[in-house]
Chains A and B, each alone.
Chain A
Amino acid sequence: MSTEATAATPAADETADETADVLVVEDLTVSFPTDDGLVQAVRGVSYRLREREILGIVGESGSGKSVTSMAIMGLLPRSARITGSIRFRGQELLGLREKELNRFRGSKIAMIFQDPMTSLNPVHTIGYQVAEAIRAHNDVPKAQARRRAVELLDAVGIPNPGQRVDSYPHELSGGVRQRVVIAIAMANRPDVIIADEPTTALDVTVQSQVLDALRTARQETGAAMVLITHDLGVVAGQADRVLVMYAGKPVEIGDVEDIYYRPRMPYTLGLLGSVPRLDASRSQRLLPILGSPPSLLNLPAGCPFTPRCPIAQDWCETEEPVLMDATSPRHSAACHFSENLAGVRPHDLYAPTSADARTPDRPDRPPAEAPTGKGNLP
């Protein structure tokens, strides 16, 4: 099924339709051996990233969003077992040696992490760090690299770049630090930028500044972007295509409007119904998804969303659905009943309950019912 990483075939002679795709991930699986058994963090992720496209990857913590991108960058620990294929412009990256991989990392594919304080080196000035990124892939004199560093800091909207270039990370605020990281990512005009929760640690007003800097970075470099976030609002504003992940697998993928206006997977509907929205009526209750995501250790057979799914049938417990075309060939969903979800809104499936699990210890309790008497607690 999946090509063993070590035996990866050179894919330079891939089919012609792949030429428009800068990055192709095929049936990627990642698992980590632990004392308790194998943790299947990623269980078959496939996507194609086109030139200049922004792919948003959404999902809850532990859904495998970050592990997927760490695998692309070759940043997983040695103990990780990786299968599948990751191709950059037709060139297989899985199984490459560290030295070969370094030709791609930073220059062809750049990464932006959530916490800029951990991706910047505290003992060097930011100018040194941007220049270092340039000099790692280009044979340019230090002075020239420094001039380019100032230009890059200016491009991402850092005020007084000529002065700031000599600052250390601790002297800067979180938003400025993250813009330094974006400047480093831009430094070698990569074809792909992977941004892993780039604005999660930031305040909203700073978040929009950083999103602007990311936009500049894409315009200047012409890079395609993988934007990993749990914020459905950020994805709605930025992404061209959206991949929804659950328990290590893509459960729905499509153009941004397909995902938000024509979702065909109960989990996607659940996510959309659970967020408080500024444009919704205040009296509208939120719709939680009951239960919590499954452990990726010894995952049971069947659809992993079954225990939380409002439309699950017996069938779902035994057979895991694969991604199938939903509303168009560009939009697919992994649900046995995705056809039944046409025109369904979140409130048709989910109850505005305050319960925590599907089997509360008082099953007679109707969800979200008005209080019937004194002390009849929810």
Chain B
Amino acid sequence: MTSLDHDVTVPDAAPSGRSGPSQPILSVRDLVVHFPVRGRGLLGRTTGTVHAVCDVSFEIYPGETLGLVGESGCGKSTASRAVLGLRGATSGQVVFDGQDIADLSTYRMRRLRRQMQIVFQDPMASLDPRLTVHEIISEPLRIHGLHTADRARYVAELMRTVGLNSEHGNRYPHEFSGGQRQRIGIARALALEPKLLVLDEPVSALDVSIQAGVVNLLEDLQHRLGLAYLFVAHDLSVVRHVADRVAVMYLGRIVETGACQEVFANPAHPYTQALISAIPIPDPRKERARRRIVVSGEMPSPTDPPSGCRFRTRCPLFANRLDETERTRCQREMPELAERGQGHPVACHFAEAVPVL
């Protein structure tokens, strides 16, 4: 019936991450992204380094969603850009579908890019206001020379896929609402039939009533097309809803990772606990009866991260419960992200699962 039919050979029951194949679609190993801080003047000597992403490792399997969460400045967006090769990594390895992207020639990289696409946060900033929706969605097809014969039909099909009226192809982005614009961005990302979508805060610019429809659409598309998602967001309620697994980042490092269910039910890192306990629940009685785990201060500068554990300057455990020797350990020794008997890997010397919901 449609061109999507034969190209995307996805069975009805799309492989889900939980029972899916054992070969990850994306594997990131010890990814490090540092930015030089340049001084003033003509020579602009390097005066410091922003440690944006440090030793980040994760895997994503076909049909699975990995939620990458953390507060602004934790490096989650930088990490996702590095995965796509949009930003050079300082060190580390990104393996997509068995190929290390660092080894690829420009030509091969360009072919591989079809497999990994991105949806940005602000649909108004990521859609060219001078192009019609049809032109926007067909641009990747034009660049990659695909669907030359049936492009109009294919683009119309894509628009229907994301819940847009296919007759509106010759309208401009400003004629659409925020939710519809985000759907245009999703259609464009789907045009090349990717295997992995990087979703960088895809719904945070939308009103809640609209956001729900886009979240549902992303879930449907994943189920239908077997897509893998790297879902980057700061809103933990949304991430808990869509992700199979979650990785919590703080100041460039993953501090806790595991199955979504498990991390939310039994968070073992004090930062994850604080983060979950800080999210308001839209239920007056529950919300007022909750115990908050308070984190003092704000995230330190990534140019000069604290020694040892990067969270210790704000850590409620460090401040209230640890004795002097234990604190010294936090200051001296960087906690590895490892299984510590909590059911999932956590980067805290004194990890202890505490249900906060």
Interface residues of A (CB under 8 A from B): 60-61, 159, 173-176, 203-209, 230-237, 256-257, 260-261, 270-279, 282, 285-290, 292, 352-357, 360-362, 368, 371, 373-375, 377-378
Contact = CB atoms under 8 A, between A and B. Distances in A.
Contact of A286 (B11, B72, B215, B294): B215
A204 B163 CA distance: 32
22 contacts: A60-B209, A173-B298, A208-B294, A209-B294, A232-B208, A233-B279, A233-B282, A236-B283, A260-B283, A270-B209, A275-B208, A278-B237, A279-B281, A288-B216, A354-B213, A355-B163, A356-B180, A356-B183, A357-B163, A361-B160, A374-B10, A378-B224
B241 A276 contact: yes
B177 A286 contact: no
B333 interface: no
Q: Is the interface of B mostly helix, strand, loop or mixed?
A: helix
Nearest to A369: B220
A233 B280 contact: yes
B217 A354 contact: yes
A378 B234 contact: no
B12 interface: yes
B213 A233 contact: no
Contacts of A204: 71, 234, 236, 275, 278-279
Contact of B278 (A205, A230, A274, A276): A205
A274 B163 contact: no
Nearest to B285: A257
Contact of B212 (A260, A286, A375, A377): A286
A355 B163 CA distance: 5
Interface residues of B, number: 70
B157 interface: yes
B282 A288 contact: no
A378 B217 contact: yes
B260 interface: yes
B321 interface: no
B36 to A, nearest CB: 22
A60 B282 CA distance: 16
Q: Is the interface of A mostly helix, strand, loop or mixed?
A: loop
B238 interface: yes
B282 A275 contact: yes
A270 B208 CA distance: 10
B304 interface: no
Given A205-B274, A286-B216, A356-B179, A371 B5 contact: no
B207 A60 contact: yes
Among B5, B177, B278, the one with the most A-chain Cβ atoms within 10 Å of its Cβ is: B278
Contacts of A287: 212
Among B8, B213, B234, B282, the one with the most A-chain Cβ atoms within 10 Å of its Cβ is: B282
B126 interface: no
Nearest to A233: B280
B240 A282 contact: yes
Nearest to B280: A233
Contact of A236 (B157, B220, B284, B292): B284
Nearest to B213: A288
Given A205-B71, A205-B295, A371-B223, A288 B210 contact: yes
